[in-house]
Each structure stands twice: as C-alpha cells, then as structure tokens.
Structure 1
C-alpha cells in the first residue's frame, strides 16, 4: 500500500484519481470546509481532520501517520487568472507554506501539489520561483518538476489547465518524467472525450442531479446562444444583451467537444448551461464533466456542491501521473544521481528553468 497524506483535500478528487489506479490509499487528510469533509469522509472513510491546517503541527502531532506521498491543492484564489493576482502577497497565497511544513516533517518520497495556471506568472513569475526554491531546500532536497497540464489531453471531457508540481526526494534517485498526453488529435492518441460522451445516461443518476430553478428571462437569454457559445453571441442591440467580464458568462456546452473549464463559484450566469435544453447544468452533469463516478455523492446545498466540484482535481486527469509515480514506491527503477541534478537545477537561470516548465511533453 502506498500511503497518502492529503492536504487541502476538498471533496477528494486528487486522492480519488490516485486510488482509482490501485495500490494508493489515503491514510490522513485535512480540510476546513465542513461540507467538503462530509463528502470526503463518505467516500474515503473517517481519515479527514476538519479544521484550520495552520493550527496543525505535523512535527508533534502523533495522530498524523507516516506516509509515502503527500497530495494537495493549496488554495489558488490568489493565483487565479480570473481574479486579481496578489500571489505570494495575498491573504491565501502563503498557505502553501503549510504544505511545505508537512513535506518537511514527513519527508515523503514524493509530493504532488496542484494549482491554477496563474501560479506560473503571478508576481512576475516570482511566486513559482519561490515555491520551487522552498521545496528544493527541504533536506535532503527535492527535485521539483512543475508542468502545465490540460486535462482534456488525459481523458477528461473538459479543457482544464492546471499546474501539477511534482517533487521527488533527491536521495532516492527516481528519474521522474511527466507522462505524455494520452488523448488528442495526433496520430496514436485516443480521441478527446466529449461532453456528449460524458452525458450518456446522466439523467438516470439519482444523486446531486436536481435541476435549478431558472427565470423565463434567463431561458430566453440562453435560447439566443448557440451550442458552444457564450454571452458574446447575443447582439448588443438586443434587449437581452448582457455584459460579461469572463468567457464563462452564459457559456453553453458543445456536445461534440470537451467542455470549457468548470468553475467553482460566481454569479452572472456562470453556472454553465446545457445544450439543447435552455437551463443550467445540474451538479451531476458538472461532476460528469469533472470525471467523477456516479456513485461519488457530494454533501451540501447546490451552491456548496458546485463549489466542491469546481474546485476539485478531475480524478481521471491524474491517472497517468499516478501510474508514472508507482515505480518510485515499488523500487522497480534504475537509480540516478538526483543530488547532482538538484544542484544543476538550483544553479540554472530561472528563465531557462521556466522554459523547461512550459515545454510541451
């Protein structure tokens, strides 16, 4: 069994993706949102501590077990490209240091931290540079390898770009490489999974599938937007024209494509909308887009469930990564000198390092 400690767990999408490939098991977790903890506990068992992670001391708390890997998506609001980006100066940006404390205390063989694309450019790239340096400097040193994933390229019916920061303990010598995409239009890849594929039979799912009440005006607005379109499809001289700051406003799905990114919150028509029906998506439809299985039940009211789904890592999107890490824990690999590699990375100009991060696989 590969033991997982899960931080900023939310409803457990990242953990679920790892457990679905076999051998991984979450043994301890933490989140501060009650409803998310209820959802997590219902699926993974009573292993999650509900409360403020900044009040948990991983060095002295005897209830926190040893682990092989630490997973987590530290809060991303201060790095998001949708909102203003104070980055490390933000109220929540430094919560990653709690993740850092756990890695320092438990010395796992590896860690995986998930965040939004905006982390790569926040504070003029100083945020990602500082985060990498901080993890590198945890004794005995971690080789830190961030990469920008588009989860549609890994079997998720959604164009969702997220950064996965993988750290490998340098004294182990596991030469980790991010897995290449499995889905796409190139030769040899599986076809992209579409919303139409994802929605087959969704109306029969009994959990989290209630339709939201919608006004007649909203129905009319949606009816003016074609499949795959958004508020910009409405003529500006129309009495139903609406202004929007982001492309998610009145965004309709396209049945023959992956969905645009499912988001966690927001008003102004940001729920995501069906096609051909003139209505918002149900939470179960959103969960299908995020690749959750139908027996994964979310707890809370519709707004809270929407938040859990939108904040989650799509489980299927990390299957390839979880498989790529397995040899590290089984010992089925040829060790390399990661100590030298770590020193090389520390001395590399960050512009060169950044180019490596952004390079396609």
Structure 2
C-alpha cells in the first residue's frame, strides 16, 4: 500500500476499526496506527495482515482507556462508532451519564487520550435520528471533553471525493481548542460542480479480472441469471416485465441492482440474501469481492481474510479510504506544526449556541 513520506507521522489510536478502510485513508497521507481494536474476528485478521500486529480483538465495553496502560498516547483518535441504540442515546445528560450506545466508548477514548483531534464516522441516518436529538447530544458531549473541542460534523458523499461509489456518511472532525488550529472541511473534488468528473464504476473495474486476491466468482442459480438478462445497465428488479414469470414485487431498490458503467456505483452493502450482492454489467453475475473493493477504493494489494461472505461484510462496512484522504491531508499541519494559530474560543462559543441545522449549514458554508 502506497503511503506518503512525512517528517512526522501522526500517531493514531483506532477503535471500531473494522478491516481498516478509515485507517488506510490516513496511512496513505502519512499517518501511523499505533493501536487499534475491533470485535469481529475476520476484520481483525484483515487489519492485522495489512497494518501489522497493532490491533486487538476485544469487546470495547471491556476496555478502560483511562487505566489500560497498553493503549499508547496518540495525536488522533479515529473510528466509526456503530449506530445502535440511537433511540435512547440522548436520554441521559453529559459524558458521564450512561448512554444506550457505543458512542460513549469513543468519547471515553477521546477524553482519556486528549488527542489534538479526532475523526468519527457514522451513517447518514444519524442526522435525523430522534428528530436530531441524537446528533445534538453526540456533538455536545464531544464539545464538553476538557479542555474543549471544536466539533464540525459534515455529510460527505464520497463520490464527490474520488470514490467510484455514491456513498453518504457523516464525518465528525473535532479539534482541541488549545491547539489554535482552525479546521475547515474540504470542498468536493469530483462531480458536476467540481473540477473533475466522477470516477465511474466502469473505470474502476478496468483490469480487475487480473487481480489474484479476493476475486472468486460466485455461483448463481440459472433463474437468477435469467432475471439479470431482463435487467438493463443501471436497473434493478423493477425492470423485469410484470407479465414475466420471473417478475417479483415488494422489494427495495438495491435488489438485483446492476452497475451503470458511466457513473459511480450505488452504495455497496455488507450483507443480505438473494438479490442483494450487487450485480455486474454487462455480465449477468454477482460482483466479486475484489470488484466491490475497487468500488470502495481499496488498492489491489489490500488483501482481505475470511470466507467470501465474511469478506463481503468487511468491504461493505468499511469507509472508502480514498474518500477521507483530503480530510487526513487537511489535518496534517496540526500535527507537523506548520500552521498559524488562531483563538478558537469565539468559534467554539458560537457553535455551542447553534442548533444542529445551523451548525451543519455553517460548516458547509465555510468549506474551501
């Protein structure tokens, strides 16, 4: 895996690491993960194969970052905390209250290690969970960690940052107030309103058949093959004629969805039964895991461990590494010291007074 050389390699503590998509984007910009954790056996095996023996397979709820001396100090805490239990995450006040979700453990790592910055990732649905109360509580808990963090959430569509896939995720960037480093989210680089056209699925899959790793073809039933022959490029199950004996109804849009080669792929998903694998075009077949990895912007020398189903899960759950490289690059001066300090307190106080919508609008308006 190609990485950039830098005078100083910022040290990353990574939690909810998965197979390492988020870490890889930062590694490619010169960062080094010094400690990581996940609970999924095969994701841990993949992380270990690609990043070395720095990851620990352990239940995050059994780890105390305040007292565990094996967890080193770091410059950055990184991770995609799971989204379970948002229905009750906001019912208890303050970081020290008991939260009904795993977010609390991410916040505890930040509180214990006091990194100069943190990057947290989550699904788009977090923006509206509990009528916005979930994200509001998450942001305010992050802000309350001493000595205070300026927290800037933003909804990214990774296709707008060079990933051959339409995939929307929220990134929270938090910068410690006493650093004097003012972070601004980067503007999109790809798409109709940016400097480059989208990186398309067709471009991403060029030559993929030559890659020897994680590229097994999946056997499908003849009936499925016949269904795919009725679905055009970019189509899904709804394109099967209603008078066909192969017609199905009552499904969701990603079922039997085929690639459209001249645009980014739709969101790659991690699991599911018949019809959910994502399908090639023009060949009537499911995508291989290496094709999924290409659509997630993983390089070909990133090798995944586990069965076909386990590898699919890892790829579908991952953050596309290419999608976060600009964020990693934008944060790098904070760790090398190559920036002019500013007083962050006025912005910190301003943002604390904002509603979630006002904060999101503010963050979008300042992008450059």
* TMscore range, shorter length: over 0.9
Asked if structure 2 preserves the Cα contact closer than 8 Å seen for 1:174 and 1:328, the reply is yes
Paired residue for 1:279?
A: 285
Matching residue within 197, 213, 238 for 1:232: 238
d(CA) in 2 for partners of 1:32, 1:64 = 16
User: What aligned pairs does 1:98-109 form with structure 2 within 5 A after superposition?
Assistant: 98-109=105-116
Paired residue for 1:217?
A: 223
Note the residue ranges of structure 2 that are not aligned, 5 or more in a row: 1-8, 92-98
Matching residue within 291, 295, 302 for 2:297: 291
Report the Cα offset of residue 100 of structure 1.
Answer: 0.3
- Alpha-carbon displacement from aligned partner over 1:322-353 (angstroms, at most 9, x marks no partner): 10001111111111111222122112244422
Tell me the TM-score normalised to structure 1 length: 0.94
Asked if structure 2 preserves the Cα contact closer than 8 Å seen for 1:87 and 1:122, the reply is no
Report the Cα offset of residue 318 of structure 1.
Answer: 0.7
Pair 1:13-2:21 in alignment: yes
Is the alpha carbon distance of 1:195 and 1:2 closer, same or farther for their aligned partners in structure 2, counting shifts above 3 Å?
A: same
Asked if structure 1 preserves the Cα contact closer than 8 Å seen for 2:132 and 2:356, the reply is no
Pair 1:200-2:218 in alignment: no
d(CA) in 2 for partners of 1:87, 1:264 = 25
SS across alignment from 1:100: helix
Pair 1:185-2:192 in alignment: yes
**Which deviates more, 333-342 or 110-119?**
333-342
User: What aligned pairs does 1:1-361 form with structure 2 within 5 A after superposition?
Assistant: 1-22=9-30, 24-76=31-83, 86=87, 88=89, 94-186=101-193, 189-356=195-362, 361=367
SS across alignment from 2:102: helix
**Which deviates more, 304-313 or 342-351?**
342-351
Paired residue for 2:3?
A: none
Is the alpha carbon distance of 1:251 and 1:170 closer, same or farther for their aligned partners in structure 2, counting shifts above 3 Å?
A: same
Asked if structure 1 preserves the Cα contact closer than 8 Å seen for 2:16 and 2:38, the reply is yes
SS across alignment from 1:94: coil
d(CA) in 1 for partners of 2:303, 2:141 = 37
Is the alpha carbon distance of 1:289 and 1:93 closer, same or farther for their aligned partners in structure 2, counting shifts above 3 Å?
A: farther
Report the Cα offset of residue 235 of structure 1.
Answer: 2.2
* Root mean square deviation, CA, Å: 1.7
- Alpha-carbon displacement from aligned partner over 1:304-323 (angstroms, at most 9, x marks no partner): 10000000000111111110
SS across alignment from 1:355: helix
Asked if structure 2 preserves the Cα contact closer than 8 Å seen for 1:148 and 1:357, the reply is no
d(CA) in 2 for partners of 1:200, 1:87 = 46
SS across alignment from 1:322: helix
**Which deviates more, 69-78 or 103-112?**
69-78
Aligned residues: 352
Report the Cα offset of residue 243 of structure 1.
Answer: 2.6
Asked if structure 2 preserves the Cα contact closer than 8 Å seen for 1:109 and 1:169, the reply is yes
Note the residue ranges of structure 1 that are not aligned, 5 or more in a row: 80-85
Asked if structure 1 preserves the Cα contact closer than 8 Å seen for 2:119 and 2:174, the reply is yes
Tell me the TM-score normalised to structure 2 length: 0.92
- Alpha-carbon displacement from aligned partner over 1:35-80 (angstroms, at most 9, x marks no partner): 000000001110001010110011111110000001100113556x
Is the alpha carbon distance of 1:221 and 1:78 closer, same or farther for their aligned partners in structure 2, counting shifts above 3 Å?
A: farther
- Alpha-carbon displacement from aligned partner over 1:276-320 (angstroms, at most 9, x marks no partner): 111000000000000001111111111110000000000111111
